C-alpha cells in the first residue's frame, strides 16, 4: 500500500532533517524481526507444500533465498532513501506511468486474492458445520460473496473495533494452531505411527516429472510477498547497516519454521492424493484429533482459523484501495467517480467496483467441480499480478543507485546488481511457471486453465492500468491538487 502523505523534499529525493524537538524512537533488531515475521507468516499455504512431503523443506528454502531475501534487502534500501512506497520508488527510477502500474498491481492482486482467501475460509468453516461442504462449489461461492460484501459494509461504516484483530490473528490463527499441529504430529510419529509421506533422506528433493511437478512452489512467492514493507522501519534501528541484515535473517528463519513445520506435520497424517488445497489444514487437524479421540476440537480450531482470517481481511480490506485512491486524487490516474471517499474516509466506490469483479470470480466457484483447482488458479493470478510490481522494484533499485547516488540511504544493499538480478529472474521465472498446470490439480482442459490464468493476468495486471493511463484526463486530478500539481 502506498503512503502518499510524504514529507516535502528538500533536494532531489532527500528527506528533511528530523525535528530535534521530537525524540527519535528506536527499536531493536529482534523486535523488527518479530514484526516482519508477523506480517509474512501464515498457515494457509501449508497444504500446497505438504503435498511434497519432506521436499517441502527445499521448496520453501529455494524461494526464500532467491526471492524473500532480495525483496527484503532491496525494500530496505528504497524505503530508507525515498518515502512514499513503491509508487515513489518506481516513479523516481522509471517514470510516473510505471509507478502507477506498480501501485495498481498492489491493489489489483487483492481482486484475485480475496476469492482465494475466502475459499480457504469457506472450506475451513465447513469442518465446523459439515466437512463434505469443503469441496462444494455452490457453498464456497455463497460464502465468498456473502462474507466479502459483509466486510465491505463493515469497513464502509468506518468501524474501529476491528483495528486490533490483525495483531491477535498471529497468535489466534497462526502460532497456537501451528504449535498444536506440530506437537500432535511429533506425538503421532512418536507413538510409532508411519508417516503418510516418506521421510527418508532420498526424498529431500521433489520427484522431477517435468515443470508441472514443481508448479505449486509458485504459491510460496505469494506467501513471502510483503517482506519489503517492513523496510520502512530501517531508520528506527540504531545501527541499520549491521542490524538490519541480522533482523532479516532471523525473520527468515522464523518464517521458514512457521511455514515448514506445519507443512511437514500435515504430510505425516494426510496422503498427498487426498489433500485439499483449501481444506488441507482442517483435514490434518481432524485426522490428528480423531486419532487422539478428541475430534470435537476440530470445530474449535476451525473457528480460531476462520476468525483470524476474517479479522485480517477486515483490518486491511480498505488499505490498498485507499492508497490507490489517495494517489489517484493527486495525480489523476482514476476517473472522479472512483476517487470518492464516504463520510468515514473509506473509498467506497472503488471497493464496490472491486466487489463486483470479486463476486463474478466467486460465482465461478459455483460451477467448479474441483474447488482446489479453482483456488489454485486464482492464487496464481494473485501471485502473477503482484510479481509485476516486484519486477519493477528490482529494476528501480539498480536505476536509482546509478541515477541518484547522492541520496542518503539508511541501508545500502551490497552487490545490489547481483541481488536485484537474482530477485528479478526468480520473479520472472515464477510468473512464467504459473502458466503450467500442476500435476496434482491439473485434470481440467489446458485451454481453460490458460484462459483463466492468462486472462486474469492480462485483464487485471496489464490492460486495466494501460486503459487508465491512456484515457487519463487533466480533469481527473482532484480540485484540491490542481493548483499545485499537474500530471506529467
Per-residue pLDDT of 116-130, as tens digits, reads 889 889 999 999 999
260-274 burial: b if 16+ Cβ within 10 Å, else e: bbbbbbbbbbbebee
CB atoms within 10 A of CB 137: 18
Structural domains in the chain, sorted by start:
29-473 (1.20.1740.10)
* 389 neighbors 105 (Cβ within 8 angstroms): yes
Could you please report the per-residue DSSP string of 172-198? IIIIHHHHHHHHHHHHHHHTTPPPSS-
* Separation of alpha carbons 315 and 138, rounded Å: 27
The DSSP output letter for 142 is H
Per DSSP, 14 falls in state: B
415 within 8 A of 132, measured Cβ to Cβ: no
Contact 241, 453 (CB under 8 A): no
**DSSP three-state, residue 336:** helix
Q: Over the range 225-248, which residues count as b (16 or more CB within 10 Å of their CB) and which as e?
A: bbbbbbbbbbbbbeebeebbbebb
Q: How far apart are alpha carbons 133 and 114 in whole angstroms?
A: 19
Could you read off the pLDDT tens digit of each residue along the chain, which spans 488 residues? 333 333 333 333 333 344 444 455 678 888 888 877 876 778 888 898 898 899 999 989 999 999 988 998 898 888 888 877 788 899 999 999 999 999 999 889 888 888 888 988 999 999 999 988 988 889 999 999 999 998 888 877 765 544 444 455 556 777 889 899 999 999 999 999 999 988 888 888 887 766 666 787 887 887 887 776 666 677 778 888 778 888 888 888 888 998 999 999 999 999 988 888 888 999 999 999 999 999 999 999 999 888 878 877 776 677 788 888 888 888 889 999 998 888 877 888 998 998 898 898 888 888 777 788 888 888 889 889 999 999 999 999 999 999 999 998 888 899 999 999 999 999 999 999 889 888 765 566 888 888 989 999 999 999 999 999 999 988 888 887 766 655 44
Contact 168/20 with Cβ under 8 angstroms? no
CB 374 within 8 A of CB 448: no
CA distance 36 to 254: 10
- What would the grid cell of residue 460 be? 487485471
Question: Are 452 and 377 contacting, i.e. CB atoms less than 8 angstroms apart?
Answer: yes
The x, y and z cell numbers of residue 29, run together, are: 533488531
pTM value is: 0.83
Q: Which of 457, 140, 109, 175 is nearest to 316 (CA)?
A: 109
Question: What is the per-residue pLDDT across 299-313, written as a single tens digit (0 to 9) for each?
Answer: 999 998 888 788 777
Nearest residue to 218 via CA among 387, 424, 105: 387
Q: Which triple of cell numbers denotes residue 320?
A: 490498498
Burial (0-12, 13-18, 19+ Cβ within 10 Å), 153: exposed
- Rounded CA-CA distance 434/432 in Å is 5
Cα R_g (the chain), whole angstroms: 22
Q: Cell 489523476: give the residue.
A: 332
Amino acid at each position: 500500500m502506498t503512503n502518499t502523505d510524504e514529507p516535502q523534499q528538500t533536494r532531489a529525493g532527500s528527506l528533511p532533517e528530523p525535528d530535534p524537538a521530537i525524540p527519535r524512537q528506536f527499536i531493536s533488531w529482534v523486535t523488527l524481526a518479530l514484526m516482519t515475521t508477523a506480517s509474512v507468516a501464515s498457515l494457509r499455504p501449508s497444504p500446497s507444500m505438504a503435498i511434497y512431503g519432506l521436499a517441502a523443506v527445499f521448496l520453501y528454502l529455494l524461494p526464500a533465498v532467491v526471492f524473500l531475501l532480495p525483496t527484503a534487502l532491496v525494500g530496505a534500501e528504497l524505503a530508507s532513501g525515498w518515502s512514499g512506497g513503491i509508487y515513489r520508488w518506481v516513479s523516481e527510477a522509471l517514470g510516473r506511468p510505471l509507478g502507477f502500474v506498480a501501485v495498481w498491481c498492489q491493489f489489483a492482486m487483492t481482486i484475485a486474492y480475496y476469492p482465494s482467501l475466502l475459499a480457504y475460509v469457506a472450506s475451513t468453516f465447513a469442518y465446523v458445520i459439515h466437512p463434505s461442504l469443503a469441496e462444494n462449489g455452490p457453498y464456497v461461492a455463497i460464502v465468498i460473496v456473502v462474507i466479502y460484501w459483509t466486510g465491505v459494509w463493515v469497513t464502509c461504516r468506518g468501524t474501529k473495533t476491528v483495528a486490533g484483530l490483525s495483531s491477535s490473528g498471529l497468535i489466534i490463527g497462526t502460532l497456537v494452531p501451528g504449535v498444536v499441529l506440530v506437537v500432535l504430529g511429533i506425538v503421532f510419529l512418536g507413538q510409532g505411527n508411519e508417516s503418510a509421506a516418506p521421510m527418508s533422506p532420498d526424498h529431500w528433493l521433489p520427484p522431477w516429472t517435468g515443470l508441472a511437478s514443481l508448479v505449486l512452489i509458485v504459491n510460496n512467492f505469494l506467501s513471502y510477498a510483503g517482506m519489503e514493507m517492513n523496510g520502512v522501519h530501517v531508520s528506527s534501528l540504531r545501527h541499520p547497516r549491521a542490524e538490519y541484515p541480522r533482523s532479516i535473517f532471523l525473520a527468515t528463519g522464523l518464517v521458514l519454521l512457521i511455514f515448514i513445520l506445519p507443512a511437514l506435520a500435515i504430510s505425516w497424517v494426510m496422503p498427498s492424493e487426498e489433500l485439499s488445497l483449501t481444506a488441507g489444514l482442517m483435514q490434518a487437524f481432524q485426522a490428528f484429533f480423531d486419532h487422539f479421540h478428541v475430534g470435537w476440537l476440530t470445530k474449535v480450531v476451525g473457528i480460531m482459523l476462520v476468525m483470524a482470517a476474517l479479522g485480517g481481511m477486515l483490518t486491511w480490506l480498505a488499505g490498498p484501495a485507499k492508497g490507490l485512491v489517495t494517489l489517484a486524487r493527486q495525480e489523476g490516474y482514476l476517473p472522479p467517480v472512483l476517487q470518492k471517499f464516504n463520510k468515514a474516509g473509506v473509498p467506497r466506490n472503488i471497493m464496490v467496483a472491486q466487489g463486483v469483479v470479486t463476486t463474478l470470480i466467486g460465482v465461478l466457484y459455483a460451477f467448479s467441480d474441483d474447488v482446489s483447482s479453482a483456488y489454485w488458479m486464482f492464487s496464481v493470478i494473485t501471485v502473477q499480478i503482484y510479481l509485476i510490481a516486484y519486477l519493477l522494484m528490482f529494476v528501480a533499485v539498480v536505476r536509482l543507485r546509478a541515477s541518484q547516488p547522492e541520496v542518503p540511504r539508511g541501508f545500502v544493499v551490497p552487490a545490489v546488481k547481483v541481488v536485484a538480478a537474482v530477485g528479478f529472474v526468480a520473479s520472472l521465472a515464477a510468473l512464467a511457471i504459473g502458466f503450467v498446470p500442476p500435476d496434482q490439480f491439473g485434470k481440467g482442459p489446458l485451454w481453460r486453465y490458460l484462459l483463466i490464468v492468462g486472462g486474469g493476468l492480462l485483464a487485471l495486471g496489464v490492460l486495466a492500468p494501460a486503459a487508465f493511463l491512456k484515457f487519463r484526463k487533466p480533469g481527473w486530478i482532484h480540485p484540491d491538487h490542481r493548483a499545485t500539481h499537474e500530471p506529467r
